[in-house]
Amino acid sequence: MTKAQANASNERSSITLMEFRMSRFVSTLEQALSYQHEGVVARFMLQFAIPRKEAEEIFLETKRWLWLNAKHLDDLNQGSPNVPKSLGIRTSITIIDEMWHIFILFTDDYANFCEKFLGKFIPHLPFLEGEEETTQIERDQEFIQYLSYLYDQIGEEYLTLWFKQYRLKYSLDQIDKLQIRAIRRRMCERSNQVHKMKHEFLLAWSSSIVVLRRLFPKNSLLKQRL
């Protein structure tokens, strides 16, 4: 084999290895997105007044976000170029963060999901104000790198969904309203349950009085008490 043939063979091997790594991540993403958890969706709908279809979509995007975090950690470990040093939840996708919180409540299921589909546990680390002192120019540059990385990994469609549609549909004010509506709905349901229990108690009490009067028709003391 000539040197040129050896170089060509090595180049083909490198391309094949790269394609394998890419297909592995794509496959993992597809499998992660197929994961279902009724409890997470139901708990989210209990906390936020959102229709099931929307809740299921947000859970889908949360799984996409978690896969993206796993991919980001792999890229950092491999020293890949143009990788932001961190992926933080931005205000535009706060609704995904809320779903993430719900998912973590199911601790064992969340840990199993991470291990099975992502290959590692993805921790949820809080952001602390003033943790790092940076200039506005540095923050702008970091945000551009952040968006560029997301664009390369998930594409324009989901970047638009997260940072345009979700920013308008699930703003912080709107999320607060959804929580308030959910609280009012739960209060109304509990009030209806209490009313139903009282009604059932009164019916049972009335029925018992009728039975007692039939059993003891001449008992004057019983009649006085009833």
47-90, pLDDT tens digit by residue? 999 999 999 999 999 999 999 999 999 999 999 999 999 898 99
Residue bearing tokens 């919180």:
101
Average pLDDT over residues 95-114: 97
Structure tokens at 178: 């959804």
Residue 58 CB neighbour total at 10 angstroms: 23
Q: What is the pTM of this model?
A: 0.74
For residue 44, CA distances in Å to 14, 33, 39, 117, 186 come to 45, 18, 8, 22, 13
Asked if 76 contacts 42 with a C-beta cutoff of 8 angstroms, the reply is no
- Secondary element (H or E) of residue 17: helix 3-34
- Residue type at 159? L
162-200 per-position pLDDT tens digit: 999 999 999 999 999 999 999 999 888 777 776 677 767
Which one, of 54, 34, 59, 52, lies nearest residue 165 by Cα?
Answer: 54
Interatomic CA distance for residues 99 and 89, integer angstroms: 12
Q: Is the pLDDT of residue 149 over 50?
A: yes
pLDDT of residue 125: 83
Q: What is the pLDDT of residue 68?
A: 96
CA distance 93 to 7: 46
Contacts of 61 (CB under 8 A, 6+ apart): 93, 96, 99, 158, 161, 162
Helix (H, G, I), strand (E, B) or coil at 123: coil
Q: Whose structure tokens read 């959910």?
A: 182
Burial 211-221 (b: 16+ CB within 10 A, else e): eeeeeeeeeee
> How would residue 10 be classed by pLDDT, with cut points 50, 70 and 90?
very low
